[in-house]
Structure 1
């Protein structure tokens, strides 16, 4: 991937090798960090499967930072 935007504690944006983009935003909400990832879906797998995969990554990240 090629990172095209990094804003400290706010956003990470990158373009994957196949041209799809993913953006992760970090937002302070009542003293906690809300993490939101948006991504361009690929054409080989159903969108719901892709959402589940990204959600699993975020869940693992949450466990890591809280552990």
Structure 2
């Protein structure tokens, strides 16, 4: 699930960076363009949230699954 969410990024840090970059660009867009790209903003926020979660807890989750 995690790698499907961060695709095409290769790491958690890269996925978070890409999502942050999109959200900054999104905030600088005019309102009419923001309305057309609302779905992409929602996906970027979700990617950022999941990336932060796995950056923080990913190692613990994988250690539990391995045990």
Q: Which has the higher helix share?
A: 2
Higher relative contact order (CA 8 A, sep 6+): 2
With normalisation by structure 2, the TM-score equals 0.36
Q: Which has the higher strand share?
A: 1
With normalisation by structure 1, the TM-score equals 0.36
